[in-house]
Amino acid sequence: MTMFHFFNCAILTFGPHAIYYSATPLSEYDTLGTSVKAALVYLGTALVKVSENDGFDPYQELLKAVIGFIDVAGLYFALTQLTHRNISQNHKFQAVGLGWAFADSVLHRLAPLWVGARGLEFTWDFILQGLEANANLVLSISLAALGSLMWLRKNKPKTLIPIIYACAGIVATMPSITSYLRRGLGWHFPKVVGFELFTSLSMAFISWQLFSACQRPSS
Amino acid sequence: MVLSKNSGGHRGMQESMYSVIALVFILVACVELCDAAAAIDVYRLIQYDMSGSAYGSRFAVLNHHAASLHFPPGADLSRAVLIIPLRELNITFVREYINQKKPLGGLLFLLPDIFSFENGGNKQVHEKEKLKNLLAELEQLLIHANIPYPVYFAFENDEIDTVLVDIKKNDAIGQPATATTGGYKLVIPTPEPKKVASPTITNIQGWLSGLKVDGDTNQLPTIAIVASYDTFGAAPALSVGSDSNGSGVVALLEIARLFSLLYSNPKTRGRYNLLFGLTSGGPYNYNGTQKWLRSFDQRLRESIDYAICLNSIGSWDNELWIHVSKPPENAYIKQIFEGFSNVAEELHIKVGLKHKKINISNPRVTWEHEQFSRLRVTAATLSEISTAPELLQGTGGLFDSRQFVNETAITRGVKLVAESLARHIYGHQGKNVQIFADGGSLAVNPAYIQSWLDLLSQTPRVAPFLSKNDPFVMALKKELADHTDEVNMQHEVLEGVFTFYDSTSARLNIYQVASVTFDLLLLLVLGSYLIVLFSFLVITTRGLDDLISLFRRPPSRKVKTA
pLDDT tens, residue by residue, B464-481: 999 888 999 999 999 999
In a domain, B122, yes or no: yes
Contact state of B17 with A11 under an 8 Å Cβ cutoff? no
| Dihedral, CA of residue B430, residue B435, residue B439 and residue B445, to nearest 10 | -110
Q: Domain residues for B253?
A: 200-493
For residue B112, the SS3 value is coil
pLDDT per residue over B315-344, tens digit each?
998 999 999 999 989 899 999 999 999 999
Break chain A into its structural domains and give their ranges: 1-215
- For residues B206 and B110, state if they share a domain: no
Share of chain A above pLDDT 90, in %: 0
Contact state of A11 with B516 under an 8 Å Cβ cutoff? no
- For residues B107 and B225, state if they share a domain: no
Instruction: Using an 8 Å CB-CB cutoff, list residues of chain A that contact chain B.
Output: 1, 4-5, 7-8, 11-12, 15-16, 19-20, 22-25, 30, 32-33, 36, 85, 106, 110-111, 114-116, 119-122, 127
Question: What span, in angstroms and rounded, lies between the C-alpha atoms of B74 and B63?
Answer: 22
Query: For the stretch B71-82, what's the b/e string if a residue is b when 16 or more beta carbons lie within 10 angstroms of its beta carbon?
Result: beeeeebebbbb
Contact state of A23 with B185 under an 8 Å Cβ cutoff? no
In a domain, B561, yes or no: no
Sheet of B222-228: strand order equals B350-355, B319-324, B379-383, B304-311, B222-228, B273-279, B200-208, B486-493
Q: Report the candidate in A66, A71, A18 with the shortest Cα–Cα distance to residue A43.
A: A71
Task: Classify burial at B201, counting beta carbons within 10 Å of its beta carbon; exposed 0-12, middle 13-18, buried 19 or more.
Answer: buried
Question: What span, in angstroms and rounded, lies between the C-alpha atoms of B140 and A201?
Answer: 68
- Helix boundaries (H) for B286-406: 287-294, 298-303, 331-346, 369-374
pLDDT for B231: 93
Confidence of residue B18 (pLDDT cuts 50, 70, 90): low
- For residues B488 and B508, state if they share a domain: no
Top mean pLDDT of A33-47, B183-197, B266-280 is at: B266-280
In a domain, B10, yes or no: no
Contacts of A36 in chain B (CB under 8 A): 10, 13-14, 17
Bridge partners of B497, per DSSP, are none
pLDDT for B552: 67
Number of other CB atoms surrounding residue B399 within 10 Å = 24
In a domain, B18, yes or no: no
Number of other CB atoms surrounding residue B460 within 10 Å = 21
Bridge partners of B106, per DSSP, are B81
- For residues B205 and B191, state if they share a domain: no
Concatenating the DSSP letter of every residue in B47-111 gives EEEETTEEEEE----EEEEEE-TTPPTT---TTEEEEEEGGG--HHHHHHHHHTT---SEEEEEE
Q: Which helix (H) or strand (E) segment is B508 a member of?
A: strand B505-513
Question: What span, in angstroms and rounded, lies between the C-alpha atoms of B431 and B420?
Answer: 11
In a domain, B342, yes or no: yes
- For residues B387 and B418, state if they share a domain: yes
**C-beta separation of B404 from B388 below 8 A:** no
**C-beta separation of B111 from B155 below 8 A:** yes
HSE toward the beta carbon, residue B427, CA cutoff 13 A: 5
From the list B6, B185, B526, the residue facing A120 with the nearest CB is: B185
In a domain, B380, yes or no: yes
C-alpha distance from A160 to closest chain B C-alpha (Å) = 24
Interface contacts (A, B; CB < 8 Å): 89
Contact state of A111 with B519 under an 8 Å Cβ cutoff? no
Q: How many residues does chain B have?
A: 562
For residue B444, the SS3 value is coil
Question: What span, in angstroms and rounded, lies between the C-alpha atoms of B197 and B200?
Answer: 9
Confidence check: pLDDT of B250 > 90: yes
Separation of CA B386 from chain center: 25
Contacts of A4 in chain B (CB under 8 A): 516, 519, 523
Contacts of B516 in chain A (CB under 8 A): 1, 4
Residue of B nearest to A34 (CA): B10
Contact state of A114 with B28 under an 8 Å Cβ cutoff? yes
Picking from A41, A87, A121 by the largest number of B CB atoms within 10 A of its own CB, the best residue to mutate is A121
In a domain, B27, yes or no: no
Instruction: Using an 8 Å CB-CB cutoff, list residues of chain B that contact chain A.
Output: 6-7, 9-10, 13-14, 17, 21, 24-25, 28-29, 31, 33, 35-37, 179, 182, 185, 187, 509, 511-516, 519, 522-523, 526, 529-530, 533-534, 537-538, 541-542
CATH of the domain at B466: 3.40.630.10
- For residues B215 and B330, state if they share a domain: yes
pLDDT per residue over A81-104, tens digit each?
655 555 666 677 777 778 778 888
Q: Rounded mean pLDDT of B136-145?
A: 92
Question: What span, in angstroms and rounded, lies between the C-alpha atoms of A101 and B464?
Answer: 62
Question: What span, in angstroms and rounded, lies between the C-alpha atoms of B231 and B237?
Answer: 11
pLDDT per residue over A161-199, tens digit each?
777 778 777 777 777 777 777 777 777 888 888 888 888
- For residues B152 and B205, state if they share a domain: no
Question: What span, in angstroms and rounded, lies between the C-alpha atoms of B181 and B513?
Answer: 9
Q: Report the candidate in A49, A72, A58, A25 with the shortest Cα–Cα distance to residue A174.
A: A72
Comparing A56-65, B47-56, B385-394, B543-552, which segment has the lowest mean pLDDT? Answer: A56-65
pLDDT per residue over B270-296, tens digit each?
899 999 999 999 999 999 999 999 999
pLDDT for B122: 54
pLDDT per residue over B441-462, tens digit each?
888 999 999 999 999 999 999 9
Question: What span, in angstroms and rounded, lies between the C-alpha atoms of B71 and B78?
Answer: 13
Q: What amino acid occupies position A113?
A: L
pLDDT for A61: 64
Check if the interface score ipTM surpasses 0.90.
no
In Å, what is the CA distance from B351 to each residue of B318, B323, B430?
A: 9, 10, 16
In a domain, B4, yes or no: no
Strands B106-111 and B151-155: what pairing? parallel
Picking from B10, B163, B185, B522 by the largest number of A CB atoms within 10 A of its own CB, the best residue to mutate is B522
| Dihedral, CA of residue A29, residue A35, residue A36 and residue A40, to nearest 10 | 160
pLDDT for A51: 46
Between B202 and A193, name the one with better pLDDT: B202
Question: What span, in angstroms and rounded, lies between the C-alpha atoms of B96 and B294?
Answer: 45
- For residues B365 and B308, state if they share a domain: yes
Contacts of B512 in chain A (CB under 8 A): 121-122
Question: What span, in angstroms and rounded, lies between the C-alpha atoms of A88 and A148?
Answer: 11
Q: What amino acid occupies position A31?
A: T
Q: What amino acid occupies position A172?
A: A
C-alpha distance from B56 to closest chain A C-alpha (Å) = 30
Confidence check: pLDDT of B176 > 80: no
- For residues B162 and B245, state if they share a domain: no
Tell me the pTM: 0.77
From the list A19, A30, A32, the residue facing B530 with the nearest CB is: A19
From the list B182, B513, B541, the residue facing A25 with the nearest CB is: B541
Question: What span, in angstroms and rounded, lies between the C-alpha atoms of A45 and B399?
Answer: 64
Residue of B nearest to A124 (CA): B514
Contact state of A23 with B522 under an 8 Å Cβ cutoff? no
Average pLDDT, chain A: 75
Contacts of A137 in chain B (CB under 8 A): none
Number of helices and strands in chain A (H, E): 9, 0
- For residues B389 and B418, state if they share a domain: yes
Confidence check: pLDDT of B8 > 70: no
Residue of B nearest to A11 (CA): B526
DSSP state of B211: P
Confidence check: pLDDT of B304 > 60: yes
- For residues B480 and B543, state if they share a domain: no
Comparing A43-52, B212-221, B243-252, which segment has the lowest mean pLDDT? Answer: A43-52
- For residues B463 and B409, state if they share a domain: yes
Question: What span, in angstroms and rounded, lies between the C-alpha atoms of B529 and B289?
Answer: 77
Contact state of A1 with B37 under an 8 Å Cβ cutoff? no
Contact state of B530 with A114 under an 8 Å Cβ cutoff? no
User: What is the domain count for chain B?
Assistant: 3
Contact state of B522 with A1 under an 8 Å Cβ cutoff? no
